[in-house]
């Protein structure tokens, strides 16, 4: 042993000078209850800050939008928000971007769908509820304003059988998505 330490087989045979010795090894500090409490307070403060920041931004928007009688600010924010949401689905898995609909009554009939439509069942149930409300669409020409990525228009055409289904949307990303998806499913010959 040299200065209270075991020497390893590879250690130098020369003894260490006292100035080279780092001294006794101090144990690492253990996580104490005080440190945990400070961490939790930090997390709570950060969460509170984000919540308050969100409320301030939202309240500011509502205040400013209240003076916009034309609705142009509201349309701009909705358009920007939709474009951002559309960009988040990089794999192109979602064709519907609505809140969906579920009939919670115990005797509600289950709408029959293809297995490929199941992931978007709630969104498509909303289309079924709204589009079938006026009655049978068979043989009619249907226009959907704000068709987004085309999932609802596709559902309406396939399940409710109008003669012609037209979707219209102001989001260029949504229209481009639908054009690409349609060309993949139905390539021109």
The pLDDT value given to residue 2: 47
pLDDT band at 6 (very low <50, low <70, confident <90, very high): low
Closest CA to 149 of 131, 172, 133: 172
pLDDT of residue 1: 47
Q: SS in 3 state form for the chain?
A: CECCECCCCCCCCCCCCHHHCCCCCCCCCCCCHHHHHHHHHHHHHHHHHHHHHHHHHHHHHHHHHHCCCCCHHHHHHHHHHHHHHHHHCCCCCCCCCCCCCCCCCCCCCCCCCCHHHHHHHHHHHHHHHHHCCCCCCCCCEEEEECCCCCHHHHHHHHHHCCCEEEEECCCHHHHHHHHHHHHHHCCCC
Least confident residue range of 67-71, 152-156, 158-162: 67-71
> For 87-133, what is each residue's pLDDT tens digit?
787 777 888 888 789 999 999 888 999 998 999 999 999 999 999 88
Q: Angle at which helices 172-185 and 72-88 pack, to 10 degrees?
A: 40
Beta carbons of 181 and 150 less than 8 angstroms apart: yes
Half-sphere exposure of 21 (CA within 13 A, CB side): 14
- pTM for the whole thing? 0.57
For tokens 């474009």, name the residue. Answer: 83
State how far the Cα of 131 lies from the Cα of 115, in Å rounded to an integer: 21
User: In the predicted model, is pLDDT for residue 165 greater than 60?
Assistant: yes
């Amino acid at each position: 042993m040299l200065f209270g330490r075991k020497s390893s087989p590879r250690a130098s045979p020369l003894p260490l000078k006292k100035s080279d010795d780092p001294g006794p090894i101090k144990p690492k500090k253990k996580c104490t209850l005080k440190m945990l409490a400070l961490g939790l307070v930090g997390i709570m403060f950060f969460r509170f800050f984000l919540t308050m920041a969100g409320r301030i931004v939202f309240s500011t928007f509502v205040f400013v939008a209240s003076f916009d009688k034309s609705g142009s600010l509201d349309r701009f924010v909705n358009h920007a928000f939709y474009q951002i949401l559309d960009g988040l689905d990089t794999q192109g898995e979602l064709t519907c971007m609505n809140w969906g609909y579920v009939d919670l009554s115990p005797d509600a009939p289950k709408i029959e769908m293809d297995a490929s439509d199941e992931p978007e069942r709630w969104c498509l149930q909303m289309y079924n509820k709204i589009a079938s409300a006026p009655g049978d669409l068979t043989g009619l020409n249907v226009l959907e304003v704000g068709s987004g990525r085309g999932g609802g228009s596709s559902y309406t055409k396939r399940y409710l059988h109008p003669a012609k289904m037209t979707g219209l949307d102001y989001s260029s990303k949504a229209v481009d998505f639908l054009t690409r998806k349609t060309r993949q499913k139905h390539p021109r010959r």
